[in-house]
Structure 1
Amino acid sequence: PYAGIEVDLLQNAFPTTPFFGNDFSRSNTEPLFNDHSIVHLATHAALLIGSPLESFILFGNGDQLTLADLKNWRGRLRSVDLIVLSACETGTGSIKDANGEEILGFGYLMQDAGARAVISSLWPVSDGGTQELMTNFYEALKVSGMTKAKALQQAQIALITGNQIDASSGERFTFTPRNPENPEALPNSRLSHPYYWAPFILIGNGL
Structure 2
Amino acid sequence: MREEATLNRFYNDYLRFNILHLANPVCLNPQGCAELEANQILFANGEILNIADIALLGLNQTKLVVLSACQTAMTRESDGRELPAIAYLFERAGADAVIASLWSAEDKKALLIMTQFYENVNEGMTKAEALRQAKLTFVQQGLHPFSWSPLILIGDGSYL
TM range (shorter): 0.7 to 0.9
By how many angstroms is 1:54 displaced? 3.6
By how many angstroms is 1:120 displaced? 0.7
Paired position in structure 2 for 1:63: 47
- Give me the identity figure in percent: 37
Q: Give me the whole-angstrom Cα distance separating, in 2, the residues matched to 1:91 and 1:67.
A: 12
8 Å CA contact 1:49, 1:98 repeated in 2? no
Tell me if 1:107 matches 2:87: yes
| 1:24-63 matches, cutoff 5 A | 24-50=5-31, 54-63=38-47
8 Å CA contact 1:67, 1:105 repeated in 2? no
8 Å CA contact 2:60, 2:93 repeated in 1? yes
| 1:75-90 matches, cutoff 5 A | 76-90=58-72
By how many angstroms is 1:50 displaced? 4.2
8 Å CA contact 2:120, 2:134 repeated in 1? yes
8 Å CA contact 1:54, 1:67 repeated in 2? no
8 Å CA contact 2:31, 2:38 repeated in 1? no
Superimposed CA distance per residue, residues 98-139 of structure 1 (whole angstroms, 9 cap, x where no aligned partner) = 122123322210011000111011112111221111111111
Structure-1-length-normalised TM-score: 0.68
Larger radius of gyration: 1
By how many angstroms is 1:72 displaced? 3.5
8 Å CA contact 2:71, 2:101 repeated in 1? no
Residue correspondences, number:
154
Please list every run of 5 or more consecutive structure 2 residues that lacks an aligned counterpart in the other structure: none
8 Å CA contact 1:47, 1:91 repeated in 2? yes
The one-letter code sitting in structure 2 at the alignment partner of 1:159 is F
Secondary structure of the structure 1 residue equivalent to 2:94 = coil
The one-letter code sitting in structure 2 at the alignment partner of 1:55 is N
Structure-2-length-normalised TM-score: 0.86
> What's the C-alpha RMSD, in Å, of the aligned pairs?
2.0
Paired position in structure 1 for 2:128: 149
